[in-house]
Amino acid sequence: MVTANPYQAYQKNSVDTASPGELTLMLYNGCLKFIRQGQEAIKNEDLENKNTALQKAQRIIQELMTTMDMKVPISQEIMPLYDYINRRLIEANMQSDQEILNEVAELVTEFRDTWRQVIQITRKQQHGQGGQA
């Protein structure tokens, strides 16, 4: 089957061949993308696109929550933060609040950057060199 859009084929291949760690990084990046889209829609007073984008960001956070292994001790500390981010996304959507979205974007960025470092450290330990994510 030939894909009409080479970019979509590339994206699909990227997801299909990504490690679990890389998939998590993709989720964080996607969440940030949808938060930015929500911010832009608020600025443009586009309520429909704001709602769509922020609900997508929420679904990503919810996916991170449901796939978390609660047997791992750090999960007990991360879960309340994910819950907080999810609740703040709902508030930002209901109130069209840019400040809340700035706060949430900072938190997600911190998670993403930390996760990127974990991937790089893991690659270095596995391969003896610093891989880039």
Banded model confidence at residue 16, pLDDT cuts 50, 70, 90: low
Cα–Cα distance list, 113 to 13, 29, 40, 99, 110 (Å): 23, 10, 23, 21, 5
Please name the residue that has the structure tokens 């109130």.
95
Amino acid at residue number 15: V
Structural domains of the chain ordered from first start: 26-127 (1.20.120.340)
Cα–Cα distance list, 78 to 1, 6, 21, 69, 114 (Å): 41, 37, 16, 11, 12
- Identify the three-state secondary structure at position 120: helix
Q: Tell me what the pLDDT averaged over the chain comes to.
A: 89
pLDDT over 70 (residue 132): no
